Amino acid sequence: MKVENYSYDAFPSYDQKIDGVIELEGKKDNLRCRMKDVEYQDGCMIRFLFPNTILDEKRKYPLVIHVQGSGWYKQDMADHIFDFMPIVKSGIAYAIIQYRHSPQYHFPTQIIDTKKAIRFIERNADQYPIDIHQLYLSGDSSGGHTALMTLFTYNQGLFDQEKSILPPLKGCIDLYGVTNFLTMNEWYSKYHYDENSSLDFMGQGHTDEKSMAIASPINYIEQNDSLPPILILHGSKDHVVPFTQSVELYQKLKEKHFDVQLARVNNADHGRSIFYVDDVYHCIINFIKSHL
């Protein structure tokens, strides 16, 4: 029997008794996660993760623009799809940014690309179920570094190839990001940060103290009169980016009386399954929703 002018609420439910049937219950306002890839410049995409429900396809969701960590090398754009799904299912969209990577591209290309991606999202916001007025910035590891560099130089004409004003941010989430290259070796780590990825990220001949200071987010806090709220999360047993990087950032922001929270994820390592747990999800979701 064909149904004209279908709507979910009006559609009849088959509820006749069936012997032995297992009765389960659907939830009409349940959110699932769907994905859409969009190229914002040659060779670089934005991977959107959108909440989706059967009832309201026109709803607009807060958006977290996330820069994925990779040691500044080529990013695995599938790495965080499932990590962020519990946040997306709470009603928050994600846009994972792909940037031009080292060793082919050096600092500050990644910051330039992030700002370019943000402008692309703003210009095309009407095409997606996102509320551009509820915008957050996020990043993990080297992506945390890029997100912080983007935040601390936001609309200041630094590390930017365009003059148009970037949209306001409601907050920033730093997940175990690099904050100060000059103090990276002052706590335990598997790596020594004057070699390997830092060399490829900065380029040969650009790893002197002055250059590394220029690439360190912590040195750009002073030039800001105001910043949106910042949430820092870091595992206490992080073997890649020392926990002290987040402590240093937290203390500097507190000293300047900015709105900042630091969450220590006890016994967690550098991301992965031991980090992305319910407590972390609740912390991030509460931070985002408390600043809407």
Tell me phi and psi for residue 265, to 5 degrees.
Answer: -95, 95
For 92, residues 6+ apart whose C-beta sits below 8 A from its C-beta are 51, 61, 62, 63, 64, 285, 288, 289
Residue 24 lies in a domain: no
Single out the residue of 151, 275, 176, 156 nearest to residue 232, CA to CA: 176
How many of the other CB atoms lie within 10 Å of CB of 203?
14
For residue 36, is it within any domain?
yes
CB 243 within 8 A of CB 264: yes
Query: Which of the listed ranges 74-83, 116-125, 198-207 does the model predict with the highest average pLDDT?
Result: 116-125
CB 87 within 8 A of CB 160: no
Task: Judge whether residue 56 has pLDDT over 90.
Answer: no
Q: Which helix (DSSP H) or strand (DSSP E) does residue 211 occupy?
A: helix 209-214
> Which structural domain range is residue 42 located in?
32-290
pLDDT for residue 134: 98
Tens digits of per-residue pLDDT, 83-120?
999 999 999 999 999 999 999 999 999 999 999 999 99
Distance CA 198, CA 188 (A): 17
Residue 11 has a pLDDT of 87
In a domain, 21, yes or no: no
Residue 267: band (very low, low, confident or very high) from pLDDT cuts 50, 70, 90: very high
Least confident window among 191-200, 202-211, 265-274:
191-200
Q: Is 7 inside a domain boundary?
A: no
What per-residue confidence (pLDDT) applies to 115?
Answer: 98
Residue 67: which residues within 8 A CB-CB, separation 6 or more? 96, 97, 99, 110, 114, 137, 138, 139, 140, 143, 144, 146, 147, 150
Whole-number Å distance between alpha carbons of 267 and 236: 5
Q: How many domains does the chain have?
A: 1
Residue 113 placed within a domain: yes
User: Torsion angle, CA of 202/208/209/215, rounded to 10 degrees?
Assistant: -10
In a domain, 92, yes or no: yes
The enclosing domain of 98 has a CATH number of: 3.40.50.1820
Question: CA-to-CA distance for 126 and 117, rounded, in angstroms?
Answer: 15
Q: How confident is the model at residue 218 (pLDDT cuts 50, 70, 90)?
A: very high
Task: Find which of 1-5, 24-28, 120-124 is predicted with most confidence, using mean pLDDT.
Answer: 120-124
Residue 193 has pLDDT above 80, yes or no: no
**How high is the pLDDT of residue 278?**
97
pLDDT at 54 over 80: no
Q: Is residue 263 part of a domain?
A: yes
Cβ-contact 139, 99 below 8 angstroms:
no
**Cα 50 off chain centre by:** 14
Question: 120-159: per-residue pLDDT in tens?
Answer: 999 999 999 999 999 999 999 999 999 999 999 999 999 9
